[in-house]
Amino acid sequence: MSVAKKEYKRITTKTLVDMKKRGEKISMLTAYDYTMAKIVDSAGIDVILVGDSASNVMAGHETTLPITLDQMIYHAASVVRAIERSLVVVDIPFGSYQSDPKEALRSAIRIMKESGGHAVKVEGGREIKESIKRILNAGIPVMGHLGLTPQSIYKFGTYTVRAKEEEEAEILKADALLLEKAGCFGIVLEKVPAKLAAEVAASVTIPIIGIGAGNGVDGQVLVTHDMLGMTHEFNPRFLRRYLDMFEDMTGAFKSYITDVKSGDFPNEEEQY
């Protein structure tokens, strides 16, 4: 059953918890630059994720691993300057928090101070709980990320669905409870069976945001460039393309080239 959408002037971490209590689904998309963030925010999105997926989308890397903390801060600062309503969550990149809680805190502080972001996101459960606690103790909101965790892709060896077997599913459910108890305000759950995701969402009071995790969770996130059809090589089952911008942009570029070559652009009205 759909729930009437409440108007929020500014989305906060508390807003998201309230939305879960009310049964209102949470919308979340990525942005990495000012122009895109301005459009996404003005459309009314609840959460903007400055994802380390910028490593793939903006820089062309095969994985999220190469992007640096300095680069994440640059992207996040660009996004924050565009925002009037959305909550901005920033990924802490690979190698900046996993092994040393003190380094995790330093990384989170840099993101908050230098970008103006509203929260950080980290991947993993019990193995990074000390880093999460250290960040939270400094008053910095933390979003978790379980299931398929792209920063660990070389450990998994594949981007296939996670937690299909009972043992891994039980670990995931325990990690979700651990993240809630530690103080995380929400969790992204990526590429896990829909039934398991619904169980996790029902077991915690914090919002579960799914990507490839079915409709029984509290909200959804997609990479904006994917849902707009700007990318065309990536076709997972969970992706719904709302536009085909690859075709539209290619057509526009070709028309521009034709007009320039023919001398049609600029015409008399487009000159001084």
- The set of catalytic residues is 190
Q: Which helix (H) or strand (E) holds 88?
A: strand 87-91
Containing H/E element for 168? helix 166-182
C-alpha–C-alpha distance, residues 42 and 11, integer Å: 13
Sign of CA dihedral 90, 162, 237, 220: negative
143-164 exposure pattern, b = at least 16 Cβ within 10 A, e = fewer: bbbbbbbbbebeeeeeeebbbe
Please name which of 264, 268, 267 lies closest in space to residue 256, comparing C-alpha atoms: 264
Yes or no: say if 176 and 187 are a contact pair by the CB < 8 Å rule. Answer: yes
Residue 142's DSSP bridge partners are 120
Diameter of the chain by CA atoms? 70
Instruction: Using alpha carbons only, give the angle 158, 209, 167 rounded to the nearest 5 degrees.
Output: 50
